Amino acid sequence: MAEVKEESRIAEEITPGPTQGTVEITDALTSEVLPKDEAQPQLPPLWRQRNYMLLWSGQVVSSLGSGMSGFVLPLLILAITNSPLIAGIAGALYSLPYPLFSLPVGALMDRWDRKKVMIICDTIRAINIASIPLALYFNVLTIPQIFVNAFIEGSCFVFFNIAEVAALPRVVDKSQLPAAAAQNEAAFGLVGLISPSIGGVLFKSVSMLFPFIFDAISYSASIVSLSLINIKFQTERAKSEHHLLAEIKEGLVWLWSRPLIRTMAFLTGGLNFVFSGSGLIIIILAQHKGADAGAIGIIFSIGSIGGILGAIVSGRIAKRLTFAQAIIGSVWVDVLLFPLILIVPNVFLIGAVNAVIFAMNPVYNVVQFSYRLALIPDRLQGRVNSAFRLIAWGSQPLGAALAGVLLEVIGVEYTVVVFAGVLIVLGIVAATNPHIRHAKPLAQVQAEG
């Protein structure tokens, strides 16, 4: 699966490998969301909604740049240091700001202008990523600078991502959230398909500078598209008389009082613990099999094909499966397939295994993401989503760092065994948890909301 370096994937909670992908381009998932007797006025399809398409298109271009730079950054570190541990530390530093900052940021995103925050974050990220090719050009790039770059990028991502997720129900009608999540998954799946190959070829055949230069420029597309959106990203707020800590507590209490949402946060956190290290594991495994940067890029592109196919069918699958079937089934596909990367005979079959795993991401992501957003009141979107993602993504620094340590100390084979063991535990938890097994249908949840 895919989430080492992640751009602002609105629908993505599980993030496998150095790129991530995800979902469906039509409104198939929402066509039967509401009961017949409560049908609402016909809404235009998403591709005809100006504000959503501005948000979506800007993030697609920006994600292409981030996918390229995110893929080649571990290759750059390995080329400079030949140390999986240092590459793992860089991945951990990128993920660390989420557990550090997400709770206060969530409360602030329910106070601040979300659009302005997103524009400022993209401006900082453009400058930050541009410093890498600049330092490379003058031959002054150091590992400490890369660590600082990773932490700044991750910090801006926290602000941007929480603001974006909280803003989505203001950009599209609540009944179209599953379709919006699906369309995001499809687009980011396509980006995940092409960005590793393009980044790997540019890194190997043209210059180490190019993927980072493109990423810095791509942020301008997001800045322009956000500036052109003509609606507010939050409802009018009365001036808060509560202390920031009290508002953070309100979001935590809301999440903790919903057993299913709480359970999904911890389950997603466990999956992200595994897959935050999977990208580096696959890179090292492929290098041991003789793959160069271009071939490794193709491996991840093959995996992303699965993400695209999963995105195309995820809406239909989600309609036909119960919540429990979608969640438990997708987790157990991960459990059964992940260990196969050790025994397949060539690097391209590693990509094929990843493709099947990636195909499960859209099903998992769309079902749980749509379920959650349908339940959360607008005034709590920032705080509850930040609390959820604190749990869901807070494990990523540990997973990335542990992967680097284990790869350096015990080797890639035993590292795969350790992470596969964690997946087995998660599969058992998902299959036996009563809140998952007896969850209401999404249609009922949305009708009640």
Query: Which residues have CB under 8 Å from 48's CB, separation 6+?
Result: none
Query: Of the candidates 287, 133, 296, which has an alpha carbon nearest to the alpha carbon of residue 207?
Result: 133
Question: Phi first, then psi: what are they for 139, rounded to 5°?
Answer: 60, 40
- Given a contact cutoff of 8 angstroms between Cβ atoms, the answer to whether 382 and 107 are in contact is yes
Q: Does residue 337 belong to any structural domain of this protein?
A: yes
Confidence of residue 108 (pLDDT cuts 50, 70, 90): confident
Which residue would you say has higher pLDDT here, 447 or 50?
50
Residue 386 in domain: yes
> Of 165, 134, 203, 121, which Cα lies nearest the Cα of 388?
165
**Looking at the domain assignment, is residue 139 inside a domain?**
yes
Task: Fill in the amino acid letter for 16.
Answer: P
Instruction: Write the CB contacts of 428 (distance below 8 Å, at least 6 apart in sequence).
Output: none
Distances (CA, A) of 68 to 183, 218, 272, 297, 423: 21, 11, 21, 10, 28
Nearest to 393 by CA among 263, 267, 269: 269
Structural domain includes residue 199: yes
**How far, in Å, CA of 91 to CA of 106, rounded?**
23
- Residues 193-222 have a mean pLDDT of 87
Phi then psi for residue 3, to 5 deg, are -155, 75
In a domain, 8, yes or no: no
- Which residues have a Cβ under 8 Å from the Cβ of 447 and sit 6 or more positions away? 33, 34, 35, 38
**Which runs of E-coded beta strand occur in 106-178?**
none
SS (H, E, C) 323-385: HHHHHHHHHHHHHHHHHHHHCCCCHHHHHHHHHHHHHHHHHHHHHHHHHHHHHCCHHHHHHHH
Classify residue 6: in a domain, yes or no: no
> To the nearest whole percent, how much of the chain has pLDDT over 90?
33
Q: What is the pLDDT of residues 386-437, one digit of tens each?
A: 788 788 888 888 998 999 999 999 999 999 999 999 999 999 999 999 999 9
Given pLDDT bands bounded at 50, 70 and 90, which one contains residue 40?
A: low
Number of domains in the chain: 1
Residue with tokens 């993504």: 393
Rounded to whole angstroms, the Cα distance separating 35 from 32 reads 7
- Confidence grade of residue 282 (pLDDT, cut at 50, 70, 90): very high
Cα of 152 vs its chain's centroid, Å: 17
pLDDT band at 238 (very low <50, low <70, confident <90, very high): low
Using alpha carbons, select from 70, 20, 57 the residue that is nearest to residue 211: 70
Average pLDDT over residues 282-305: 86
Confidence of residue 23 (pLDDT cuts 50, 70, 90): very low
The pair phi, psi for residue 17, each rounded to 5°, is 75, -175
The average pLDDT across 98-125 equals: 88
| Integer angstrom CA distances of residue 283 from 80, 201, 307, 362 | 15, 15, 19, 23
pLDDT at 32: 34
Calculate the alpha carbon distances from 288 to 174, 196, 292, 349, 389 in Å. Answer: 48, 19, 10, 15, 34
pLDDT for the residue 6: 36
What value, to the nearest 5°, has the Cα angle with vertex 350 and ends 345 and 351? 140
Q: Are 392 and 269 in contact (CB under 8 A)?
A: yes
For residue 23, is it within any domain? no
What one-character-per-residue DSSP string does 242-293 give? S-HHHHHHHHHHHHHT-HHHHHHHHHHHHHHHHHHHHHHHHHHHHHHTT--H
Q: How far is CA 160 from CA 108, 188, 194, 226, in A?
A: 12, 17, 24, 12
| pLDDT classification of 442: cutoffs 50, 70, 90 | low
Q: Give pLDDT tens digits for 294-323.
A: 888 888 888 878 877 887 777 777 778 888
Range scoring the smallest mean pLDDT among 161-175, 268-282, 304-318: 304-318
Mean pLDDT of 75-100: 90
Torsion angle (degrees, nearest 10) of CA 235, 238, 241, 247: -10
Which pLDDT score, from 0 to 100, does residue 118 have? 94
Where residue 231 falls (left for φ over 0; alpha for ψ -120 to 50; beta otherwise) is: beta
> Rounded distance, CA 197 to CA 244, Å?
44
- Asked if residue 19 belongs to a domain, the reply is no
Q: Name the E strands within 12-105.
A: none
Q: Which domain holds residue 394?
A: 28-34+49-233+242-448
Q: Please tell me the predicted confidence (pLDDT) of residue 3.
A: 35
Domain CATH for 189: 1.20.1250.20
pLDDT at 170: 83
Segment 126-146 mean pLDDT: 94
